[in-house]
Amino acid sequence: MPRRAHKAWAGRMAQPTARVVEAFTTSFPFDRRLYAHDIAGSIAHCEMLGRQGIIAPSEARTIVTGLQAILAEFESGRFRALPGDEDIHMAVERRLIETVGSVGGKLHTARSRNDQVALDLRLFLRAEARGIRTLILRLQRALGTLARRYDDVVMPGYTHLQPAQPVLFAHHCLAYVEMLTRDIDRFADMLRRIDVLPLGSGALAGTTFPIDRRYVARRLGFRRVSTNSMDAVSDRDFAADFLAAAAILGMHLSRLAEDLILWSSLEFGFIELPDAFATGSSIMPQKKNPDVAELVRGKTGRLYGNLMSLLTTLKGLPLTYNRDLQEDKEPVFDSVDTVKGSLEVLAAMLPKLRLNRARIGQAATAGYMLATELADYLSSRGVPFRDAHAVVGTIVRHCLAAKTPLESLSVDELRRFSPVFDPDVAQWLSAAAAVRRRRAPGGTAPDNVQRALRRLGV
């Protein structure tokens, strides 16, 4: 029978914990990924105990040496968990006492697992959020590189998924860059709120020991120290902040994925997906499926679900710590992994996309997308825009009946609908000209797009 971990609270209980309870309550199989943060927090706490004379400096040095040895065991894969290790905190403490002897039991002076786990999760999310921001920047650059390569391509812009007005393909790519910039801001805002040290709050009421929380905060890189011990051990707003930011980021990635799926379809035919980022069919030899984009779109549902899972867990909890909070980690871990995976695969795929210039060029004037140009032409010559809109609507109806493109109409034919039309109207009836005229800030004009690409550094 394997050796079992001794429970830190075993003195209170007359009977050992039932095996089914151990299996049900353990979090070590998933919270072991917090090991580096747990040990970093423990080292800072131990150093503070030694500095404050709460434990002897020599004892602190012994404990820190033991913790560093345990960190090496985790990083080399040599750490062996025991049945009954409840969580990462007790597993590390159990191994510490095995390594350095009973002095290891002094590490937990002036702290509780309640403030310890709050610290670990903050450290974990701080590191992961910073890494995710870097991945978002990488995806922005991939979008910018794609936009730069095809910065002269005019494509249809859509509303209601119907052809609306011509835009530069690069302008479309840069719309997603803007979304991702907001995502970066959201993670930055979350990082500001996560930057609070909870350690030193104890189980819920603080501690009687003369601890130096500001030293620990400096040691771990926190700018602030929590001001209410009850809130500090029960607060998971920062985790909900992260999951909300991840869900909104996932929504943006899903919208990008949907465009890629549509554009790669036979009906659109705008892009060719790289073979290395597509799959085939087990039965239909001709198929080339956009599975990567579909999975990015599908995984967004997990990000939404993880946010709702945590919010639902938190909504009825009385102060302070409750074991329900053990359920905060798996949604957080899953969202971290899901977001990172989606960002990495999209950043790798986008630079390898190929545009079908001929097909996009054909589509750039289809669906009477230059109708707004005619209305603007009339309006620029003094016709009230509502009247101009009505005139051009009548022209479009005529073209539909005659099955003729708008740009094929002669000036004489246009004058049947309004005497304001002059020969120079022909200069308005091209997709490239329509794009060039959108020079107002934020518009799709080439100069605007080039400035945006330069700001992006591509």
Complete DSSP assignment for 221-232 = T-SEE-S-HHHH
Per-residue pLDDT of the chain (458 residues; tens, 9 = 90+): 456 666 665 667 767 878 888 878 889 999 999 999 999 999 999 999 999 999 999 999 999 999 999 999 999 999 999 988 999 999 999 999 999 999 999 999 999 999 999 999 999 999 999 999 999 999 999 999 999 999 999 999 999 999 999 999 999 999 999 999 999 999 999 999 999 999 999 999 999 999 999 999 999 999 999 999 999 999 999 999 999 999 999 999 999 999 999 999 999 999 999 999 999 989 998 999 999 999 999 999 999 999 999 999 999 999 999 999 999 999 999 999 999 999 999 999 999 999 999 999 999 989 999 999 999 999 999 999 999 999 999 999 999 999 999 999 999 999 999 999 999 999 999 999 999 999 999 999 999 999 999 999 99
- Tell me yes or no: is domain 362-456 CATH 1.10.40.30: yes
Span 184-229, pLDDT tens digits? 999 999 999 999 999 999 999 999 999 999 999 999 999 999 999 9
Which one from 6, 58, 265, 281 is the annotated catalytic residue?
281
Q: Residue 390: CB partners within 8 Å, gap ≥ 6? A: none
CB contact burial 183-198 (16+ within 10 A = b; e otherwise): bbebbeebbeebebbb
Pull the structure tokens for residue 51.
Answer: 């500095």
Contacts 24+ apart (CB under 8 A), 49-57: 49/106, 49/107, 49/109, 49/110, 49/211, 51/212, 51/215, 52/209, 52/210, 52/211, 52/212, 54/109, 54/110, 54/209, 54/210, 54/211, 55/106, 55/109
Predicted TM-score (pTM) of the model is 0.93
pLDDT value of position 1: 44
State the sign of the Cα–Cα–Cα–Cα dihedral 81, 86, 87, 89.
negative
Question: In 198-342, at which residue ranges do the beta strands (DSSP E only) sit?
Answer: 224-225, 271-272
Span 298-324, pLDDT tens digits? 999 999 999 999 999 999 999 999 999
pLDDT value of position 3: 64
The domain ranges of the chain are 17-109, 114-143+167-351, 362-456
Task: Give the C-alpha separation, 262 to 434, whole Å.
Answer: 24
CATH architecture for the domain at 17-109: Orthogonal Bundle (1.10)
**First vs last C-alpha separation in the chain:** 62
Contacts 24+ apart (CB under 8 A), 257-266: 257/293, 257/294, 257/296, 257/297, 257/346, 258/293, 258/297, 259/172, 260/290, 260/293, 260/353, 261/290, 261/293, 261/294, 261/297, 264/288, 264/290, 264/293
Minimal CA–CA distance to 343: which of 249, 241, 458? 249
Which one from 76, 102, 160, 282 is the annotated catalytic residue?
160
- Tell me yes or no: is domain 114-143+167-351 CATH 1.20.200.10: yes
Task: Give the C-alpha separation, 177 to 352, whole Å.
Answer: 18
Is residue 380 part of the annotated active site? The answer reads: no
Is residue 160 part of the annotated active site? The answer reads: yes
